[in-house]
Each structure stands twice: as C-alpha cells, then as structure tokens.
Structure 1
Amino acid sequence: MVAVLKKWLDHIFADEEALILLMLIFGSLLLVVTMGNVLAPVIASIIFAFVMQGIIAQLISRNVPNWCAITVAYTIFIGVFIVVMFLLLPLAWRQLANLFQELPVMIGKGQQLLLVLPERYPEFISHEQIKDWVGLAKAELGNVGQWLLSFSFSNLANVMGLLIYIVLVPILVFFFLRDKQSLLAWLGTFLPADRPMLNKVWLEMNAQVANYMRGKAIEILIVGGVSYISFSILGLNYAALMALLVGGSVLIPYIGAAVVTVPVAMVGFFQWGSGSEFITLIIVYAVIQALDGNVLVPLLFSEAVNLHPIAIILAVLIFGGLWGLWGVFFAIPLATLIKAVLNAWPGKHQVAAEGLTSE
C-alpha cells in the first residue's frame, strides 16, 4: 500500500510547475483566511480593476490610446462607485429600517390570514400550530432586531475605517489599471521562465472568469436597475431594497431568483392584498426573470463558464458556507480554477475535469 501511494504521489508531483501551482493556491487561500479582513480593500480593488479591463480592451481594439481607455474606464468606475455608495446603499438601508418597523404589522396581518386555515382544513392545521408559528416568527424578529442594534453600535467605531476604505479603493483601482503590465511582469519574476502549465491555467481562467465577472457586474446593474424602475412605477414599497435583492440574486445561479421571490411577493401582498396590483407585480417580476434567463444571460455570457449545474450548485454551497457572501461571489470562479488546474495538470487527469463540464 505504501509503495502504491508513493508511486501515485511521485506521478502526481513529478512536475515542478505542479508543485509551484499547489504552493500558489494554498498560499493564496492561507493569506485570504488569515488576513482577509485586512486585505479586503486590496482584494475588492483587484476585482474592480479586473472587471474594468473589459472596457479598456474594447476601447483599445477600436484604436483608442491606452491612457484614454484607462481614463474612460476609471471614470465609469468612479461614477458607479459614487452612485452605489452614496445613493443606493443609504436608500436601501433606510428602507430596510422602515421595513423592520413595519414587520410586526405584517406579522399581525399574516396571523389573521393563517387563522382561516384551521377552519378550512382542521384535519391538517390547528389553531395551536398557527400560534406556535406566529410566536416563532416574533421571536426571530426580536433576534433580528437585537442583531441590527448590536451591528449598528459595534460598527460606530468602524466609521472612520469605512471612510478610509471609500478613499483607498478608488486609489488602488487607479494604480491597478495604470500599472497592470508592470505589476504582472514583477509577479512573473517569481515564477519559472518556462511555465506552459501555469500559462495554460492563466489563459483559461482569464478567458472564462473575466467573461463571468464582467458579465455578472453588467447583469446585476441591468436587472437591479430594471427592477427598481419597474417597482417604482408600480408604487411598490421598499422599491430600492427589493431591487437590490433582485439584482444581487443573480450571483446565486438557479437558487437566488427563487429565494428573492418570497420577500418581493410578501411586500406586494401585504401592501395590496391579492388584487390586480399584486398580480401585476408578480407578472412583471416573472417577465424580468424570464428576460434575464433567456435573453440577457446568453448575450452577456457568450463564453460562459462550462460547468455542469451540479458543479455550480455544489460550489455555491461549499464556498458560500466557508466564506459567506464572498464565497458565493467567488464560487464559480473558484470552481473554474479547479477545472482549469485539472485540465492543465500533467498526466491523465483530464478525464476527471471533463466530468465537471456540461455536455
């Protein structure tokens, strides 16, 4: 058994690049786990700069000078950054506070509706069960209130740190955009001069993940913007908050849209009841989701990440469970990295990688 294991390890790690790649992966994971909070502005800046590379590449392909393309991309980033940080997020936070204040009234209305069920279906539901459900909802509401209160007080001391991040991230994005080539050349000095395996992994990651991240950023803006305009026209309460949820739901494939349907439907139902306004809201929301899945996604993801739906769901569950929201956001890029490593790994390991791809 020991001889077989040794032979297998020698076969796996016989290539120098394979060892270097493993060291890079585990070193990056260790750095994120141990210093993720400290390096959060740097990581966020790298992501933003990576997303903006698509605009720069498109402009350069149209014979726009490099400095002009960087200026245009950075100006777009600053505009979106200001709108999100100083308009959208404060508005969504205020609406969240108002929604929290109105939740007891919603629970009371929900209790009245639920009390009708024991009369219609006494063999399945009893009044005691309804009371237990409502009591559980009120208890959870109290826990959420305590969490929000503690969250507010615990973050008062971090206001200055937040202001520093707001200033630091745009500065870092500018330097990452301007000095991209020199930074990549400097990082390349730490790698072997002849690195076909690493280059193969990088090319596959750059082609697929770049398309994914830029496409997701555009999809979030379009879906969230259209949702906000639609909800505002319909007169839905907490339109900005609901639109933020709908836009963010595209980060979780196959699951996000279904989950976000619940708060959108509940807000509409408690505002209008089951009348025509509520039906119109559901129809509009269904149209937005249908256009997103059948029109917008195929247009944005022309070079879509070739992963099987099961692999995508597992990646979201695993990485989301490990790193929360960041894990959900990076689930598909990380799964793509694993597939790229398996594809590029020396030896007969491409069969395993092909199993993760869709036919």
Structure 2
Amino acid sequence: MSDSQRWFFLIFVLVSGFLIYLLQPILSPFLIAALLAYLADPMADKLELKGLSRTLAVVVVFLVMTTVMLLLVVWLLPKLGHQIQVMIKLVPAVFTMAQTVWIPWLETNTGVSLTGFDLESIKLLMTGHWQQTGGLVKDLFSSVSQSGMALAAWVANIVLIPVVMFYLLRDWDLMMERIGHLLPRNIEQKVKLWAQECDEVLGAFIKGQLLVMLALGIIYSLGLWSVGLDLALLVGMLAGLASIVPYMGFIVGIVAAAVAAMLQFNDLTMLAWVGAVFAVGQALEGMVLTPLLVGDRIGLHPVAVIFAIMAGGQLFGFVGILIALPVAAVIMVLLRHLHQGYKSSKLYDC
C-alpha cells in the first residue's frame, strides 16, 4: 500500500466516524435494517440456489422474518411485561427472606456477624428506584403521545426498518460486488481476504453465539415453565441473554430461578428441579448447541464483546452499540494480521 493510499484510508475512516457522530439521531433504523439484511442474506442465497429469483427469494425471507417478529411482539411482550410487574412486587419479599432466613443462616454457619448490614435502606432505595423508573416510563409515553412530531418520527422509524431491510437484502450481493470494484487494484485481494475473515468472526458470533443464546433462553424458559415457575419466561430469557459470557447465563439464571422458586413454593425440593433444568441446558449447550451452531469458528471473545458494546455506547450512544460488533470484528482481524507481521519482523526475531 502506497503512502497516498494509507492517507486516503485514514482520512476515510476519520470522516466516516465524524459523519456517524453527526448523523447518529437518524442512523438507527438504517443500521438495524443492515444488520437484519446481513443475517438474512445467507437464507436468500440458499433459496436462489434452489432456483428462485433474487427478488422472490428476498420476498420469501422477508415474509418469514416479518411473521416471526410480529408473533414475538404480539405474544412475547405482553407476557414479559406481566412477569416484570410480578417481579417488582416480589422485591420486598426477597429482602424479607434475606433478613429472616439467609442472613441468620450465614451467621449461624459462618460465624460472621451481619448485624451492621442495613438491608432496610437498600430495600427502600431499590423500591424508590423502581417507582422512579415507572414514573419515568409513564412520563416518556405521556410526552410521546402528546408530541405529534415525536410520535410520527417513532412510527416512521418502525416502518422504515423493514422497507430499508428489503431493499438492502435484495441488492446485498450487488453492493458487495460494487464495493469490491472500488478498491485499489493492488490491495483488492488482501482487503477481500480481510473482509472474509471479518465475516467469519461476525458469523461465528452473530449467526452462532446469538442463536445459542436464543436457544438457551427458550430451553430454560420451557424447563422452568414445566416445573411451574411463574417467572419462567423472564428468568429464562435473562439467563439466555447472560449466556453471552460462558457460564454467566447458568449462574445468573439458576440464582434468579432459585430465589423465585423459594418465594413462590417455599419448598426446598423445587431447588432440585430448578437445578435439573439448568443442568440439562448446560449439557445441551456443550454437546449440541455450540458444536452445531458455532462449531470451531473463532468468534469474538466475550470480554471483547462486552467492552466493544460499552465503548460504542459511550462514544456514539445507541448507534455505537449497533456498530460495536462489526467494528470489533474488523479490529480483531487487523490485530491478528498485525500480530503475524510482528512475529515475522526483525523486531521480534533479531
């Protein structure tokens, strides 16, 4: 790569970052649509290989995804909302159980005195925050409903996402080909190689790990529902989301489910059933889900994912969260090649 090309790409990156910073209020629907198109492109390609035209393949994929999302919204959100309300009502009971059962048990078995631990203040603080959060949500919806422009913008973004996704998905392969033709000829092959590696990294995480998280959320939810837990859906989905970090979903889920089970049933035998549900989930993850959906592809490290999402949110807000993983994948690939270059340089082996 020549010096002029290096300067060009550096200026391009800086200008792109500046434009993202300026345009972040309007970029969210476009980035969400691009992410959905990226996820759906392999399905459309498979339908094309079976003889369908690109447009017809996109229509089929689009209809399937839209139907699934609508069903999730209609069925899932009301149930989650109800279970969140139930959980909020259980918060005082959790503190009461901790004060009357858990702390005395710890003091008896460990000899550590927790008399100075002020649970009542924490209870009042959390209860106040829950009430404040509810008030903020109420005020937010009130302001949105009173502001015609805000409501119109919100509806426009919801409508814009599927429209942009449809056109991006239809022209995805064509856009990738045109971008390849714009690359300088002397670095085209190397950039294409890096792009393929970035796609593998993102594919291993987004198309693999996120599917594992979704599958675990469903498994945990169904398992907890089968043992009669009222908060099965909420706890199961929370455990699935926390599975972005290995074993974190298991720890968060089993602790939350155990507390919820004790509050609901007050029966120690229910803890065995909860443990069995999460043991089955862990076994399925290790022996079936991860080998099948992720395989031996190298994705993003969980710590890198967490840092990228937090850094993106800090720098660019919600838009930064959306672009965090693609940017992290590019940086990971570049660091891998930089590491290889360093190992073969005189700096490493004099």
Same topology, TM > 0.5: yes
Structure 1 residues 330 and 48: CA distance shift in structure 2, 3 A: same
Give the match's secondary structure for 1:128.
coil
Is 1:323 equivalent to 2:312 in the alignment?
yes
Partner of 2:341: 348
Distance verdict in 2 for CA 1:164–1:218, change over 3 Å: same
Aligned to 1:165: 157
Whole-Å separation in 1 of the counterparts to 2:9 and 2:252: 37
2:237 counterpart residue number:
244
After TM superposition, the structure 1 stretch with the greater mean CA deviation from structure 2, 18-27 or 333-342, is 18-27
Q: Which of 39, 43, 54 pairs up with 1:55?
A: 43
Shift in Å at residue 334 of structure 1?
3.8
Distance of aligned partners of 1:329 and 1:277 in 2 relative to their CA distance in 1, 3 Å threshold: farther
RMSD (CA atoms): 3.2
Cα deviations by residue, 1:289-326 (Å, 9 ceiling, x for unpaired): 2311332011111352256xxxx244134223323588
Of 176, 189, 196, which residue of structure 1 is paired with 2:189? Answer: 196
Q: Does 1:41 align with 2:33?
A: no
Q: Deviations over 1:134-175 (max 9, x none)?
A: 422331232233123213322443462443333221111111
1:138 equivalent to 2:119? Answer no
In 2: Cα distance, 1:289 partner to 1:88 partner = 24
Question: Which residue matches 2:91?
Answer: 103
What is the CA deviation profile of residues 209-229 of structure 1, one whole-angstrom value per residue up to 9, with x for unaligned ones? 134312234324322222222
Match of 1:225 among 200, 204, 218: 218
What TM-score do you get using the length of structure 1 for normalisation? Answer: 0.79
Residues 122 and 229 (structure 1), Cα distance of their counterparts in 2 relative to 1, 3 Å cut: closer
Match of 1:86 among 55, 74, 97: 74
Summarize the Cα distance change of 1:197–1:343 in structure 2 as closer, same or farther, 3 Å threshold: farther
Any unmatched runs of 5+ in structure 2?
Answer: 146-150, 346-350
Whole-angstrom CA distance in 2 between matches of 1:84 and 1:23: 43
Q: Please tell me the residue identity of whatever aligns with 1:133.
A: L
1:174 aligned to 2:162?
no
Q: Does 1:287 align with 2:287?
A: no
| Cα distance in 2 for residues equivalent to 1:258 and 1:327 | 29
Residue 176 (structure 1) shift: 1.0
How is 1:257-336 mapped onto 2 (pairs within 5 angstroms)? 257-302=250-295, 304-305=297-298, 312-324=301-313, 333-336=326-329
Partner-residue secondary structure (3-state), 1:237: coil
Q: Distance in 1 between matches of 2:305 and 2:176?
A: 29
Residues 260 and 134 of structure 1: CA distance in aligned 2, closer, same or farther (over 3 Å): farther
* More moved, 48-57 vs 313-322: 313-322
Contact 2:92 2:123 in 1 (8 A): no
Provide the C-alpha distance between the structure 1 equivalents of 2:342 and 2:10, rounded to a whole number of angstroms.
15
**1:252·1:316 contact (CA, 8 Å) conserved in 2?**
no
Q: Aligned AA for 2:330?
A: L
Deviation of 1:191 (Å): 4.0
Counterpart of 2:275, as a letter, is I
Closer, same or farther: CA 39–301 of 1 in aligned 2, 3 Å = same
Aligned to 2:112: 124
Structure 1 unmatched runs, 5+ = 1-12, 353-359
Using structure 2 for the length normalisation, give the TM-score: 0.81
Q: Distance in 1 between matches of 2:21 and 2:85?
A: 32
- 2:88 partner letter: F
* Contact 1:251/1:328, CA 8 A, preserved across alignment: no
The one of 54, 57, 75 aligned to 1:69: 57
Judge conservation of contact 1:220–1:248 (CA < 8 Å) in 2. yes
Looking at structure 1, the residues matched to 255 and 323 of structure 2 have their Cα atoms a distance apart, in angstroms, of 25
Give yes or no for contact 1:342–1:349 (8 Å, CA) kept in 2: no
